[in-house]
Structure 1
Amino acid sequence: MKKGFKYRIYPNKEQRTLLEQHFGSVRFIYNRSLFIKNTMYSKFKINVSEIDLNNNLISLKEFHPWLKDLNSQSLQQANRNLLTGFKNFFEGNGSYPTRKNKRDNDFSFQVPQNYQINLTTSKIYLPKIGWIKIVLHRDFVDKEFIKNKLVIKEVNDELIIDQKLNKEFDILKTLTVSRTSAGRYHVSILIDDHVPEPTPVEFDESTTVGIDVGIKSFAILSSGEVIDNPRFLKKSLNKLKKLQRAVSKKKVGSKNRKKAVAKVAKQHQLVANQRNDFQHKVSIKIISESQAICLEDLNVSGMIKNHKLAQAISDVGWSEFIRKLTYKAEWYGKTILRIGRFDASSKLCNVCGYKKDDLTLDIREWECPSCKTFHYRDVNAAINIKNIALNNLNTVGTTERACGLTGIGQRNEARSYSVFS
């Protein structure tokens, strides 16, 4: 099973320069290869392969000698990522690849091999860059695994994990170096321990929970539990406005303006970290307490187009929360069931099935005219999400129908959300 472990690194001034050169060069190669593929196909109907793109790197290095100072494998990985983007697009799992822009804060590159980790001094070696201080705040593999499965070399009484020496075991995979808009550098190490994913555990109605996400409350469970929305961005808006006003008062291009912009980015980074930490804690709690989780397929990108709700929806982070639930369910053998976005959840009485068509968004509580049951809107929706998902599963017995999706592209998406497949 593959897992990624992210750590913060602290490069010195020279290393930061080299890292920035790698970020820019990888972006340059990606855009150049994208232009070549688009041009060759539109004019000559020729599909350029990865080998052709990598061979083109030799010519590019003659025209741009500064490319020779960079890790060639990172440049080749940029071509591989581009072709992966095209593959995902044609399979219906992504959009058409577009140019990468520096203004999009896309600062990352990958190191496929030849990196080393010094466990004694907490440093990591990157080709063409050197040894960088790293904070290993948690083990990416346990000590027994290192002792029994990895080759460790000892240099001057220091224990070093060399990816090259462990290449035949195929445990240490690609390493990704990234930088945030706040100027913080990280490395993400992909580990494959070759342990198969756990078999999905059995579940029934009592061990299944339905979740209705919202704005006023972060998540409402079918059990009646309500998780409040912390609204991290809203709580920081006043400070962000103050910092942004300071930016507007600085001269364009000055050092003071750059410092003010960095303070804004740092505050946004704080908000993102708070939201990320909160979602991790909530998602692992739900996964630990349930065997199956029922969710509603939401069109978040479409909902964000509503300018009245865009900020609130972005602040709550529904898509990222569901992503965390999904991969953690795979880790622990739990099941994710999804219903269609057009299935009635809020307007449907979970007791008698009466549908209240005139239920508007401002009505948070209502009484069923048929069975006289009093409903809290969000709790009722969570119960309906659970009931619809289980009913679809029992009726049809397939992952696609259980997720409430019928199109080919949607069925592929459904498989990625379910542990059944």
Structure 2
Amino acid sequence: MKHKRAYKYRVYPTPEQQHIVACTFGCCRFVYNWALRQETAAYYNEHRRLYYKDLSERLTELKKQEDYSWLSEVSSVPLQQALRHLDKAFLNFFEGRAKYPTFHKKRNRQSATYAANAFIWRDGAITLAKMGEPLDIRWSRPLPKDATPSSVTITKDCANRYFISILVEDEIEQLPANEQAIGADLGLKSFVVLSTGEVVGNPRFFHKDEKNLAKAQRRHAKKKKGSKNRDKARLKVARIHARIADRRRDFLQKLSTRLIRENQVVCVESLAVKNMVKNPTLSKAISDVGWSELVSQLEYKADWYGRTLVKIDKWYPSSKRCFECGHILDSLTLDVRQWDCPECGAHHDRDINAANNILAVGLTVNACEESIRPGAVKTKPGKARRSRKAWR
């Protein structure tokens, strides 16, 4: 089955290419912020919404003005893509998937997207519009054979590293089917505990570099604003953040790939991380662990390789329900890691018991969904609206 897949590589542009890319970043950022201001003003003043077509026409008129003639010095394609990104951001906002779009800042991550008519793909090299020579790309892994990029996105992170993301249509072969099924209980003390008894520890990447990060941030705060020393200190802080993010991303990618390859059905809880991080005691640890990213990776990899990901309801009492007899405790605090069932006397490890319950419920949900007759309404996993009392 063919899927659109992005391959990301490190790029080392020449000084001339860096200048062109920097101008493109600045123009894209300006156009995005200008369009966002236009949409907001139109909504509050005229009570109507502007779409991509309306903003594109206004952008054409804006370029004709003498004060904004510098917008024509870069390729027009990334500017149009910036308008499309804003249109997508508003769509996500109105459908409840994201917050209201915010203005892009110069100090944050910069990006520019080039469609197929704004770059040249020849002999395994990419030359962007307005550039005379191809980019120096470090091909850490080959692109699929006979792949033709449909778009490329060049980015610059806060640590001054350049990356290019190449979008291609890839033929992904589904993995051979097996009968393995696991339940995964996500936690803080152990990152994930599987129903097979395997325990994957929490790497705590942020915690390991927290002291170095705090030291670098203190030095940055003491530097004079606008000085070169402050820029150097800011770069050191950004590199520590990048190191933390890279290590976490690498860990999650390897773990999610292994779980998908080894198991036909993976059952997890649909956690409300947005609400959980409001806990003042555990918010830093919850943000560091990366539960949402793991579930997101499991979701798209299961779709790629023909696996099944089942997300059970977040109110299901997986930890305080006895896997042997089904008895549910009235309360179970976080400091209790092992407990005995008062009904049948079974001794439980908190996390393994929860993983077994998640597996049992997940298999039941999966069997029910597969038995739904064609044309019937199918409930998405994890979207069932149930209160806590419904499980008691």
TM-score, normalised to structure 1, is 0.83
Asked if 1:405 corresponds to 2:383, the answer is yes
Asked if 1:293 corresponds to 2:243, the answer is no
Given the superposition, is the C-alpha separation of residues 77 and 196 from structure 1 closer, same or farther in structure 2, using an over 3 Å criterion? same
Given the superposition, is the C-alpha separation of residues 386 and 227 from structure 1 closer, same or farther in structure 2, using an over 3 Å criterion? same
Task: Return the match for 1:245 from 178, 198, 218.
Answer: 218
Name the CA distance, whole Å, in 2 between partners of 1:211 and 1:353. Answer: 19
- Residue identity in the other structure for 2:5: K
- C-alpha displacement of 1:202: 6.2
- Residue identity in the other structure for 2:152: L
Task: Return the match for 2:248 from 275, 299, 305.
Answer: 275
- Equivalent pair of 1:390/1:402 in contact (CA under 8 Å): no
Task: Return the match for 2:155 from 166, 169, 178.
Answer: 178
Q: Which residue in the other structure is 1:75 paired with?
A: 79
Unaligned runs of 5+ in 2: 386-392
SS in structure 1 of the partner of residue 218 of structure 2 = helix
- Equivalent pair of 1:389/1:403 in contact (CA under 8 Å): no
> Which stretch shows the higher mean deviation, 6-15 or 360-369?
6-15
Name the CA distance, whole Å, in 1 between partners of 2:289 and 2:160. Answer: 24
Write out aligned runs for 1:161-172 (5 A).
171-172=148-149
Name the CA distance, whole Å, in 1 between partners of 2:363 and 2:26. Answer: 49
Task: Return the match for 1:214 from 187, 194, 197.
Answer: 187
- Residue identity in the other structure for 2:35: S
- C-alpha displacement of 1:197: 7.7
Name the CA distance, whole Å, in 2 between partners of 1:119 and 1:186. Answer: 20
Name the CA distance, whole Å, in 2 between partners of 1:390 and 1:252. Answer: 58
Q: Which residue in the other structure is 1:15 paired with?
A: 17
- Equivalent pair of 2:172/2:305 in contact (CA under 8 Å): no
1:93-124 Cα distance to aligned partner (Å, 9 max, x none): 33333332334x1411100123234556xx53
SS in structure 2 of the partner of residue 14 of structure 1 = helix
1:2-53 Cα distance to aligned partner (Å, 9 max, x none): 1100011111223223222222211211121122223223333444332221
Write out aligned runs for 1:373-384 (5 A).
373-384=346-357
- Residue identity in the other structure for 1:252: K
Name the CA distance, whole Å, in 1 between partners of 2:6 and 2:286. Answer: 27
- Equivalent pair of 1:392/1:402 in contact (CA under 8 Å): no
Write out aligned runs for 1:248-397 (5 A).
248-395=221-368, 397=371
Given the superposition, is the C-alpha separation of residues 91 and 249 from structure 1 closer, same or farther in structure 2, using an over 3 Å criterion? closer
Name the CA distance, whole Å, in 2 between partners of 1:36 and 1:64. Answer: 16
Write out aligned runs for 1:45-84 (5 A).
45-61=47-63, 62=65, 63-84=67-88
Name the CA distance, whole Å, in 1 between partners of 2:123 and 2:188. Answer: 44
Q: CA RMSD in A?
A: 2.2
Name the CA distance, whole Å, in 1 between partners of 2:36 and 2:176. Answer: 44
Asked if 1:110 corresponds to 2:110, the answer is no
Write out aligned runs for 1:85-234 (5 A).
85-103=89-107, 105-113=108-116, 114-117=118-121, 119=123, 123-130=125-132, 131-141=134-144, 145-146=145-146, 171-193=148-170, 195=171, 198=174, 207-234=180-207
Given the superposition, is the C-alpha separation of residues 51 and 279 from structure 1 closer, same or farther in structure 2, using an over 3 Å criterion? same
> Which stretch shows the higher mean deviation, 294-303 or 80-89?
80-89
Name the CA distance, whole Å, in 1 between partners of 2:313 and 2:378. Answer: 10
- Residue identity in the other structure for 1:128: K
> Which stretch shows the higher mean deviation, 224-233 or 304-313?
304-313
Given the superposition, is the C-alpha separation of residues 70 and 390 from structure 1 closer, same or farther in structure 2, using an over 3 Å criterion? same
The alignment of Structure 1 onto Structure 2 pairs a total of residues equal to 374
Q: Which residue in the other structure is 2:38 paired with?
A: 36
Unaligned runs of 5+ in 1: 151-170, 408-421
- Equivalent pair of 1:19/1:129 in contact (CA under 8 Å): no
Task: Return the match for 2:209 from 211, 236, 255.
Answer: 236
- C-alpha displacement of 1:301: 1.4
SS in structure 2 of the partner of residue 20 of structure 1 = helix
- Equivalent pair of 2:183/2:267 in contact (CA under 8 Å): yes
